[in-house]
Amino acid sequence: MHNKNPLDDNLRTEPRLPHNEVIYVEIKSSGAVENGDLGPVIKASETVDVSANGIQVRVTQPMRVGAFIELGIIREKTGDRYDLVAEVRWQKRLPGSVGYLVGLALVESDDTSIVEWKLAVSAMLGDDADDHVRC
């Protein structure tokens, strides 16, 4: 039987880097946050891991699965900024915490930095080859 747990590494199809980055999530779609607040809202968060096509983040408020959000990711190490669009694919409340883990699937779009993001992740995989998690 296939395990549907989103945190199960068997569901991941590409390498992920356990990577802490500064991420600012700008929520543009109405109803993206479960408490009923409408966008745009800017929340600081931190990444748990990253890949070319997805990001796992810690956030303080629950988000609606299926919502599309705009992300501004700023890498502390380089200062590079990436403007991306993502779909909230899943979330899980962190035990003993007020936070949530949220899985974001990046969406291809001409108006984003998706190509630059994928190149940066490829470079990170090369730099951190011993540290990344193969999924």
The answer to pTM > 0.85 is no
Domain that holds residue 93: 17-125
Is 12 a member of any domain? no
Confidence of residue 117 (pLDDT cuts 50, 70, 90): very high
**If DSSP states are collapsed to H, E and C, what string results for 13-48?**
CCCEEECCCEEEEEECCCCCECCCCCCCEEEEEEEE
Structure confidence by residue, pLDDT tens digits, 66-107: 988 888 888 877 888 899 999 999 999 999 888 899 999 999
Which range has the worst mean pLDDT, 3-7, 67-71, 115-119?
Answer: 3-7
Structure confidence by residue, pLDDT tens digits, 14-56: 666 666 666 676 666 655 666 655 455 666 677 788 889 999 9
Choose among 4, 92, 107: nearest CA to 48: 92
Is 119 a member of any domain? yes
118: domain CATH number? 2.40.10.220
What is the total count of domains within the chain? 1
